[in-house]
Chain A
């Protein structure tokens, strides 16, 4: 039978705040176990949570970026379960009154745009880490991560293929990076993804039984896991079986999804409003202030690059893939606004190649945007040729020198003085009287030889256009 795939994603973004959501402990990744803990995040008796204002701000930013409704007041709730990495016996999360609802995220797959519904975004605290490997019959608990702020973004079941799911996750990643609210490093677990997936016969309205999938912490794993699960479910259905509602884990090594040992009891989280935290009031003025300070989002930026700088959709798309790259480009155009297209070519061409070759991220680029603009300006003014410019770029990169300095020091200024060019042409003609005669006798092909000789004599600095013009004139006699 032919099935339609129905996928919804739950994405957890670890926020890049300085401190945890409910206490003043730092959130630095990779420090010794339990070195970033205090009585509050250890869940000691008598401690209380106090909400980090920045977390609300970041949640509002995510809400605005996804055209969500911002709820005020929104409410924290306790979600109860016992696990060693959960110090209080409950996670402080949001339940029936999350901060953001009814958002949308636009994705493009195969050139077709599609809107994916975002059911909700809510704030919560991360759990710590249980360590098992190589420990025999014990486990260890590291609570450095306990209390690190998370945004959970839950989509509607609007995704219809693994490709759409990947595009959606990528879009979230780009968004949170743009907003500067999450480092989105999937290997470090900054961005985590669970999926709900079900199949239904094409044409049927009712959803099939869904399976929850966990541990798909890269774009590749997400795609592979969903593809595997689609095949698995289709096979079960084709054979007349029924899908069991369960949680399955993606085994990255074996490339299969596996049922998590059926929990001994059904989850009963016993949600209740968190009495230690007041309802979170997000006033209009605050939302407006956050909106004012929000960076431009990728979609808007792309459109503006096309409109303002005359770039192609493709170029604008590449430049806006990351906020840092787009910022670099804009800084370069701000430094020299005469030729945005050439600036774009340089950013995406020579500079990107160099960064790629040295494995340097754009934000650590040793050449400032103004310096790169200096090259474009020198080309635009005719001071140097495009070819010389590459030499200039090579000299500048990594030395911190400006274009003007390199051009001056190396004497790379293009010679555009007709007298000087005439003198060079005349000495070349004088050195090659027979070739002059041949040319004048009709051997037009020799023109290239003369251009080459003159450029050589000028050490490449003669303005090629002028050399052409003057050569034609002087050879004609």
Chain B
């Protein structure tokens, strides 16, 4: 097996044993990028030279006896995470040439831990979308079928991990943007509890929903990366001070007696039958491993999409106010006055989906509508959270499909935004409730495209979710499948 196809834990062992250098590993991954990136188009920026410098530095640390963590591991960052000296575009024209003067929390952690930053992966503009087609830079393709979408918004991150162009990547998840593309690309994607990972340096889409998390080749790697990025950051007031457990340690404890809930609202009409079958089979596998399974109800699920699109767009309309062409980013240069400069800059800089959401969010917050829309949605959110709190009184983990369908054809859903929104139905409640969720491969659909199993944990109980996911992985081989590129 080529080094680029290793998992982090496989690479870790070899790096720590001195059987490969970080430079050797990085060269292998860069060669893989060179070979398949032209077809997949996962990266907005590849930092080959910088990656090799960082690899050399990691090798010095390894030689000095340092071990473990992310030291010497080549990873990719979603292009909405701030990186000093490396363009951070959010796949938007408005930030096309923006090179941040300082690092965000994730870039800083990478450097601190000696991880290697391969580059920045493509996304739906400002993470708004479910297919990565709303990118102003390029169309990323699903490594399993280049005519199909990788999902989104972290489509570049999921595609690059699935195609072995990085050992793992960091994505961000506001309504499913880590889990859904992970499911569609056949890799593992974990959205931590809100507040578990610092958002400092993550370009905000919807601040009360956004969370950074790992996209990896297996569950063990998700545990490693989560452990490396979680924890309190004094620069993020919403980051939690709870101690970070050693997520890898409890992985193998088994799931005998683990109570798994299956919400009846998550197996809906119009759901792709092979997807439903694969997920039901996965739940049976978990049962076979000693878990008890019971049906639960999350009655407010049907309000989740409406709630989500009001909350997320309202916050987005606010967060995107700073792109005004004054201090950085694109500016319309021919404007005669200030108002014209603002309007033309934002018109030229933002794509249609971003404009649509800014419009909806502005409307939802505007005078006379706040109570009917934004406030109402925040109240509905309380009820959605309560559904989960009640359910977690009876179960330890909830199992659902990640997405109602496998990867769809490029262009297939771009015409109808509402239809695209509805495809997020299984992932968005988890963001509204601030809970941890993870998608992992559990089969294929009728087109041979990967299907994802979503596990949902209690707040700050990623460990139990990871343990269940790891047990499932040990009993199956779905995570070992690789696309042929």
Contacts and interface: CB of A to CB of B under 8 A. Distances in A.
- CB atoms of A and B under 8 A apart anywhere in the complex? yes
Interface of A: 38-39, 42-51, 78, 80, 82, 84, 87-90, 139, 141, 143, 264, 268, 270-272, 275-278
Interface centre among B102, B202, B314, B327 (most CB of A within 10 A): B327
Given A46-B201, A270-B367, 6 more contacts: A39-B100, A272-B365, A272-B374, A275-B315, A276-B237, A276-B238
Contacts of A89: 318, 320-322, 324
B200 A278 contact: no
Contacts of B320: 89
B82 A270 contact: no
A270 B237 contact: no
Would you list the 5 A-B pairs with minimal beta carbon distance, nearest first? A89-B321, A270-B365, A275-B207, A275-B208, A45-B203
A330 B324 CA distance: 55
28 contacts: A39-B100, A43-B322, A43-B327, A45-B82, A45-B88, A45-B98, A45-B328, A46-B81, A46-B82, A46-B200, A46-B202, A47-B201, A48-B237, A48-B238, A49-B237, A50-B235, A80-B321, A84-B338, A87-B322, A87-B326, A87-B327, A88-B321, A88-B322, A272-B315, A272-B370, A275-B207, A276-B237, A277-B238
Interface residues of B, dominant DSSP: loop
Interface string B329-369: 00000000011001000000000000000000010011100
Given A45-B90, A46-B204, A270-B366, A90 B104 contact: no
Contacts of A271: 365, 370
Nearest to B202: A46
A210 B314 CA distance: 32
A46 B338 contact: no
B323 to A, nearest CB: 8
A51 B207 CA distance: 17
A80 B234 CA distance: 26
B168 interface: no
A278 B318 contact: no
B463 interface: no
A47 B201 CA distance: 6
Contacts, number: 105
B199 interface: yes
B321 A90 contact: yes
B332 to A, nearest CB: 14
Nearest to A81: B321
Contact of B318 (A38, A48, A49, A272): A272
B328 A44 contact: yes
Nearest to B362: A270
Given A89-B324, A90-B321, A278 B81 contact: no
Contacts of A141: 326-327
Nearest to A143: B327
Contact of B237 (A38, A45, A268, A278): A278
A80 B88 contact: no
B279 interface: no
B304 interface: no
A38 B200 CA distance: 14
B207 A268 contact: no
A357 to B, nearest CB: 50
B237 A51 contact: yes
